[in-house]
Amino acid sequence: MTSALQQSGAESAEIPEYPMARAAGCPFDPPPDLMAQQRRSPLTRVRLEDGSTSWLVTRYADQRTLLADPRLSSDAERPGYPRSAPIQPGGPKIGFILMDDPEHARLRRMVTAPFAIKRVEAMRPMVQRIVDDLIDEMLAGPKPVDLVEAFALPVPSLVICRLLGVPYADHDFFQANSKTIIKRTATPEDRAAASENLRDYLDRLVGEKLDDPGDDLLSRLTERIKSGELARQDAAAIGVLLLIAGHETTANMIALGTLALLEHPDQLALLRDTDDPKLVASAVEELLRYLHITHNGRRRVALEDIEIAGRTIRAGEGVILPNDIGNRDPDAFEDPDRLDLRRGARHHVAFGFGVHQCLGQPLARMELQVVCNTLYKRIPTLRLAADLRQIPFKHDGSVYGVYELPVTW
């Protein structure tokens, strides 16, 4: 459906483009033009790379209201959905993240148990061992070292592999394909091929576990296949979602978080010198708020007309809710551009909000707490081994972070 907005050429000439470029100056801040939009108006229109237009919701409170509104759909195949990159129609689905209830809720429920806080806490000693072993290896090896390759990527990859029952020996394969899927500048054909690679890989694993189940999440899904509750292809698609979401996001938070702390030595010192688990937990929430790695915005399409902030979003129009600027809204966080590890930031929207709120957040929190409580204490002289201007940032990804982080000590 073409909205009146899309038909109006005169209006669209004034509509700013989205995504907007980040300032060369501070790699941790949202694009200044986007922040200016937030100050100007709670709801504005933006033009996407494919020429279509979408609503942009700039403020924290409205973002939460809309993310909890069932009149907004996550179904990327609906006309009007504001795509972050072109897709190849009919490509393999990636789990339930782009589905609506009730099918979304039905599938999500099948995998919630292992991400419950109690179950995640039981994994803390295992995560601590992984973190300690990787730090031992780094300390024993040559320096400088790329912290992404040596630490940030292996920590969550090892954890999600154990949880799912995916062999870590295949990490080069699944990391490379995940990287292509979340790269906005990859061609639709390359992204579809990478999704197919992962879907086929997970389907093979599910097949093996159907015959010979182990003690892992994929094996538990095969019980549901056997009972007729779950189609095998949906089990593989859920596996793809959990494998990608389980390592890419947390890896970027570890590397970008470390860089942010190295650039804020007073805050790094707070973490290095504390034994207080509450301060460590608060630091993790503040890093999540401040760094907003899922920076391209939650994306939805309206199923019905919705009144918000004195305007009407019409059925069929796209809506973008960038949680990076929601997390910098001065009405929700005092002095929002300051990194303040002691601030109570747990109400941030870095994990989204509403029915699609991050399923893996207890796991991500726990992994980041273990890292924040260990890395800077065990390597107290950790420092950048390159100029900040030489660090390659992921401006072309749907998850923000750094491609490499050369460090020494």
Q: Which residues bind ligand HEM (CB under 6 A)?
A: 74, 96-97, 108, 160, 241-242, 245-246, 249-250, 253, 293-294, 298, 350-352, 356, 358-360, 363-364
Reading phi first (left if > 0) and then psi (alpha if -120 to 50, else beta), residue 228 is in: left
Contact present, 391 and 404 (Cβ < 8 Å): yes
What's the min distance (Å) between Cβ of 109 and ligand HEM? 10
Q: Is 249 or 369 the residue whose CB approaches ligand HEM more closely? A: 249
- Burial environment of residue 5 by CB neighbours within 10 A (0 to 12, 13 to 18, 19 or more): middle
CB of 11 to ligand HEM, least distance (A): 28
Nearer to ligand HEM, 110 or 350 (CB): 350
The two three-digit tokens of residue 106, written as one number: 């039905």
- The helix (H) or strand (E) run that includes residue 237 is helix 232-262
Contact between 215 and 174 (Cβ < 8 Å)? no
- Which residue has the closest beta carbon to ligand HEM? 360
User: What burial letters (b/e) apply to 360-372, b meaning 16+ CB within 10 Å?
Assistant: bbbbbbbbbbbbb
Per the listing, tokens 């923000």 go with: 400
Decide: 349 and 112 in contact? Cβ < 8 Å. Answer: no
SS3 302: strand
Q: Which two tokens stand for residue 301?
A: 């399409």
CB nearer to ligand HEM: give 160 or 182.
160
Q: Smaller CB distance to ligand HEM: residue 35 or 110?
A: 110
**Closer Cβ to ligand HEM, 229 or 273, answer by number:** 229
DSSP 402: B
Least gap, CB of 164 to ligand HEM (angstroms): 8
Give least dist CB 69 to ligand HEM, A.
12
Q: Report in angstroms how near the CB of residue 303 gets to ligand HEM at its nearest.
A: 16
CB of 92 to ligand HEM, least distance (A): 16
The two beta strands, 53-57 and 145-146, are unpaired
Nearer to ligand HEM, 6 or 370 (CB): 370
Q: Strand order of the sheet with strand 383-384? A: 145-146, 406-408, 383-384
Give backbone dihedrals phi and psi of 83, rounded to 5 degrees, phi first: -75, 145
Nearest distance, CB of residue 299 and ligand HEM, angstroms: 7
In angstroms, give the least distance from the CB of 321 to ligand HEM: 8
Judged by CB, which is closer to ligand HEM: 30, or 246? 246
Nearer to ligand HEM, 6 or 239 (CB): 239
- Beta bridge partners of residue 300, listed in sequence order: 319
Amino acid identity at 260: A
